[in-house]
Structure 1
């Protein structure tokens, strides 16, 4: 029996399956590193996780959880915009009747 990997949401601090969470990573930026969304879940380096809700993402930014998790000063000003773009992309794919991963119709 295969165990599901568990991760902690840095917004609400709830432990859940990593399949239910979004992964965030650091990318190079000047002068600070920038937090960006890793939809594939395969970006190199340390990642951190949040639920796919505005509430958890907002809490993570307010609590400065990204800087604490990545153990460095980070620019998290674009996090809310990246999450909104993700939600818009998700809504558009649901309206078109296409399933994101396989491309098949629902």
Structure 2
């Protein structure tokens, strides 16, 4: 059995499986790099993780946790807008964190 990797939410600072979190990445934009949502959790580079709830994302923005996680000054102004767009997507388009059972049923 493969163990799930643990990550810490930068908003509420609790550690949980990465399947229960969403990933944020840093893009190079002038004058400050911007934070973008990495829906597939597959973009290269350093990532920061939050729970998929507004409370944790807001806490991360208010605490300036994105700047600390990426170890540089960042433009986090669009984080809440991106999260709202992510929430508005159909549930089938979002990672659920649940896996289908394998095997056959008789």
Q: Do these two structures clear the TM 0.5 threshold for a shared fold by scoring above it?
A: yes
Gaps of 5+ in 1: 102-106
Q: Which stretches in structure 2 are left out of the alignment for 5+ residues? A: 95-106
2:48 aligned residue: 48
Task: Measure the CA separation in 1 of the matches of 2:12 and 2:69.
Answer: 14
What is the Cα-based RMSD across aligned positions, in Å? 1.1
SS of corresponding position for 1:48: strand
- Offset from partner CA, 1:49-96 (integer Å, 9 cap, x none): 00000000000000000000100000000000000000011xxx24xx
- Alpha-carbon distance between aligned partners in 2 of 1:33 and 1:78, rounded to the nearest angstrom: 11
TM-score after normalising by structure 2: 0.85
**CA shift at 1:100, angstroms?**
3.0
1:29 CA drift (Å): 1.0
- How much has 1:2 moved relative to structure 2? 1.2
Runs in 1 of length 4+ with deviation above 6 angstroms? none
The higher-RCO structure (CA 8 Å, 6+ apart) is: 2
Equivalent residues in 2 for 1:8-87, closer than 5 Å: 8-87=8-87
Aligned length in residues: 94
